[in-house]
Chains A and B, each alone.
Chain A
Amino acid sequence: GNSVTQMEGPVTLSEEAFLTINCTYTATGYPSLFWYVQYPGEGLQLLLKATKADDKGSNKGFEATYRKETTSFHLEKGSVQVSDSAVYFCALRTGGYQKVTFGIGTKLQVIP
């Protein structure tokens, strides 16, 4: 079956530090890949996505590249801010809508 692996964290960084959150996946077929962000007390919001190999998704300074050869979709940001503190979920979707699989979420804490 499909699965998504990411570290739970927390990941603690100082403001303006470089961020990487690793995400690897196992899936049949050719999944679409997503990063969602959950701010405290809120629901998940789509951060970025990529639908085919070598695509790069980007939004709000975050980037992730769909790497089929390494089955990875690592999230990066060059300079994090305190406002980026949240939980980040990697997810994939194969076939129809209902095949969405989420990772466990990685908590990011950015300190001033």
Chain B
Amino acid sequence: NAGVTQTPKFQVLKTGQSMTLQCAQDMNHEYMSWYRQDPGMGLRLIHYSVGAGITDQGEVPNGYNVSRSTTEDFPLRLLSAAPSQTSVYFCASRGTSGSTSTDTQYFGPGTRLTVL
């Protein structure tokens, strides 16, 4: 049971480039989220999903796209990277009311992204 995995761990992009941050979980959790962590601002929700085929915007969605074609995977796409997107990105998942982990979010190890 690997929990929540994220790739890559580090990435450097040039302004305007696009890329996809990968997130996968093997706990059969329905709920998945993407956060960004910036100094002095804590964690801010970018996008989330309540199940395969269902996604919605969080607090800071601009410049990011998501999709959820399977329960396991929830990739985050940067369409045209900007320096303001330099941050640490965390993916998280949580079980539904039928599981024992309904209150606990499980976080991945993070992706540190730098946009030059």
Contact = CB atoms under 8 A, between A and B. Distances in A.
A binds B: yes
B50 A97 contact: yes
A103 B43 CA distance: 8
A8 B40 contact: yes
B48 interface: yes
Contacts of B90: 43-44
Nearest to A104: B42
23 contacts: A32-B103, A41-B109, A42-B110, A43-B4, A43-B90, A43-B92, A44-B107, A51-B103, A89-B42, A93-B103, A97-B31, A97-B48, A98-B45, A98-B50, A98-B58, A100-B33, A100-B105, A102-B35, A102-B42, A102-B44, A103-B42, A104-B42, A105-B43
Q: Kindly state the interface size class of chain B when it binds its partner.
A: 20 to 34
Interface in A82-109: 89, 93, 97-98, 100, 102-105
Given A34-B103, A98-B31, 8 more contacts: A8-B40, A42-B109, A43-B4, A44-B43, A49-B103, A98-B33, A98-B45, A102-B35
A22 to B, nearest CB: 15
Main secondary structure of the interface of A (DSSP, over half): strand
Interface of A: 4, 8, 32, 34, 36, 41-46, 49, 51, 89, 93, 97-98, 100, 102-105
Contacts of B94: 97
Contact of B45 (A41, A42, A100): A100
Contacts of A36: 105
A46 B31 contact: no
B108 interface: yes
A43 B40 contact: no
Contacts of B35: 102
- B33, B44, B103, B109 interface centre (most CB from chain A within 10 Å): B103
Interface in B1-58: 4, 31, 33, 35, 40-45, 48, 50, 56, 58
